[in-house]
Amino acid sequence: MDLIFAEATPPGRGGVSVIRISGTGALSLAQRLAGPLPCARLAYLRNLRDGEELLDQALVIWFEAGASFTGEEVAELHLHGAPVIARRVASALVVGGARPAEPGEFTRRAFLNGRMDLAEIEGLGDLLQAETESQRQQAVRIAGGEVGRRAEAWRGVLITAGALVEASVDFADEEVPDDIPEEVFGLLRDLRDELMAEIRGYQAAERVRTGFEVAVIGPPNAGKSSLINRIARREVALVSDIAGTTRDIIELGIDLRGLAVTFLDTAGLRESSDQVERLGVARARDRAVSADLRIHVSDSGYTDRDLWREGDILAHSKSDVSQNTTGLRISSVTGEGITQLLDLIYEILSSKVAGAGIISHARQVQALREASVALSCVDELPPELVAEAIRVASVSLDRLIGRIGAEDYLDVIFTTFCIGK
Ligand code: GDP
């Protein structure tokens, strides 16, 4: 592979700026600027020179092929953190035969050299995008290879089951096994149960990754927008304030005690004779129904029963001027009940997080579903198809970690990576 380089630290002024070089010849290129660097993984303080010209004083480290992030020979130049220095060193590297890396190219090489599997790369992408504590905790586990380790254990079970099926053919001295040991079915049933448990944990893990949605609904003038403004202003860290993609819903993304939560303000939910607007209202209602939780805001006790789901919260608004006692009393004017409301939302959502598994991407759950479908009802299959079911399940697990079929996903995944990663 050709020699690539990029700044591994964000562009701009800072204490240190790290340029990473990867590929065969990374060491000799670093030595061309820094002079002899006899040992790998030792930090050398060196004057970097381009011919006679002094570029910077830097710490220089190199890693052998097979013992680096990309799996290739890698050198790192830890420069003083001014953009002009990084630019000058970059031009010296280009003259020395390296080219600027594409976004995610270091990680792509790590994958191609078997240093990371596809799920780890997805976890790393999530980690780089993480904004809240729960997102960080989940992503760091996955980036650390937890999916791959689990997949290896599952593949081990399939290999054992496959070997037992094979053995039953040999002993019977026939082409086709007619007496598959019960142990095989026990192994496959337990494995399928495990896969199903992971599949069940997908939705919560996906929500931790992308954020939970909480819809604030209720009749016009109930105080929905005031509530959301109150939440945004006082109680929580504001992450983003996205004007809705439709005119019917405004989204407010917040970090609620470590959970990424998007509040949906459905103030535009009202009956209308205008056809376009009616479509918008229908979409907003669908969105409210599919949200993870709904807060029904009302100052009159009225709630829309069609939108009510078990576990929803009833918030009685304008408690400063209203005596109604049903539901949780809140006031966006005095702040009464707002902390309790957020506590309740947090409690409900964190109980969902408790069921989160390690599978958090649609691609991953698809592979697991294929494996579990292949293993369903194996004990009712004709014996010759049991080995085939095991093979199909095994292929699906290979797909889970990108041992096969990764090409289709790599380009998509790396669009979220920055240059230098
Ligand atoms: P929405 O249509 O449900 O979004 O309702 P708004 O948030 O726009 O509020 C409608 C009206 O009720 C506005 O005049 C608000 O100032 C008022 N309002 C909202 N919340 C409270 C509250 O807690 N106490 C009082 N006194 N008035 C409120």
Nearest CA to ligand 1 atom 10: 221
pLDDT reported for residue 173 = 56
Ligand 1: residue of 216, 217, 221 to mutate (most ligand atoms within 8 A of CB) is: 221
| Mean pLDDT per 10-residue section of the chain, whose length is 421 residues | 94 94 97 97 97 96 96 98 96 97 93 93 91 93 93 95 82 61 93 96 94 91 88 55 49 91 78 68 85 92 87 93 82 93 96 91 95 92 88 95 83 78 79
- Return all residues near 48 (Cβ < 8 A) that are at least 6 apart: 33, 34, 54, 55, 56, 57, 58, 60, 77, 79, 89, 92
CATH code of the domain containing 142 = 1.20.120.430
pLDDT reported for residue 175 = 58
Q: Are residues 58 and 157 in the same domain?
A: no
State the distance from the centre of ligand 1 to the C-alpha of 222, rounded, in angstroms: 6
Q: Are residues 322 and 304 in the same domain?
A: yes
Q: Are residues 307 and 391 in the same domain?
A: no
In a domain, 106, yes or no: no
In a domain, 8, yes or no: yes
Q: Are residues 271 and 319 in the same domain?
A: yes
Q: Are residues 371 and 243 in the same domain?
A: no
Which of 36, 69, 101 lies at the terminal end of a domain, its last residue?
101
State the distance from the centre of ligand 1 to the C-alpha of 90, rounded, in angstroms: 57
Q: Are residues 127 and 183 in the same domain?
A: yes
In a domain, 113, yes or no: no
Q: Are residues 30 and 84 in the same domain?
A: yes
Domain membership of residue 183 as a residue range: 119-201+359-414
Q: Are residues 248 and 312 in the same domain?
A: yes
Q: Are residues 235 and 279 in the same domain?
A: yes
The answer to whether 338 and 234 are in contact (CB under 8 A) is yes
Other beta carbons less than 10 A from residue 295's beta carbon: 26
Nearest CA to ligand 1 atom 19: 223
In a domain, 419, yes or no: no
CATH code of the domain containing 95 = 3.30.1360.120
Which of 335, 352, 369 lies at the terminal end of a domain, its last residue?
352
Whether ligand 1 lies within 6 angstroms of the CB of 205 is answered as no
Ligand 1: residue of 226, 302, 330 to mutate (most ligand atoms within 8 A of CB) is: 226
Q: How far apart are CA 95 and CA 17, in angstroms?
A: 20
In a domain, 172, yes or no: yes
Number of folded domains that form the chain:
3
Question: Scanning the structure block, which residue is given the tokens 């049903």?
Answer: 326
Whether ligand 1 lies within 6 angstroms of the CB of 222 is answered as yes
pLDDT tens, 399-411? 999 988 788 788 7
Nearest CA to ligand 1 atom 9: 223
Whether ligand 1 lies within 6 angstroms of the CB of 223 is answered as yes
Other beta carbons less than 10 A from residue 214's beta carbon: 24
Residue type, 269: L
Whether ligand 1 lies within 6 angstroms of the CB of 301 is answered as no
pLDDT reported for residue 233 = 73
pLDDT reported for residue 268 = 55
Q: How far apart are CA 186 and CA 197, in angstroms?
A: 17
Query: Of the candidates 151, 148, 138, which has an alpha carbon nearest to the alpha carbon of residue 118?
Result: 148
Nearest CA to ligand 1 atom 21: 318
State the distance from the centre of ligand 1 to the C-alpha of 224, rounded, in angstroms: 7
Q: How far apart are CA 5 and CA 355, in angstroms?
A: 42
Query: Of the candidates 77, 65, 67, which has an alpha carbon nearest to the alpha carbon of residue 37?
Result: 77
Question: Scanning the structure block, which residue is given the tokens 């607007």?
Answer: 277
Q: Are residues 67 and 139 in the same domain?
A: no
Q: Are residues 183 and 227 in the same domain?
A: no
In a domain, 112, yes or no: no
The answer to whether 206 and 360 are in contact (CB under 8 A) is yes
CATH code of the domain containing 330 = 3.40.50.300
Q: Are residues 45 and 163 in the same domain?
A: no
Which of 306, 337, 352 lies at the terminal end of a domain, its last residue?
352
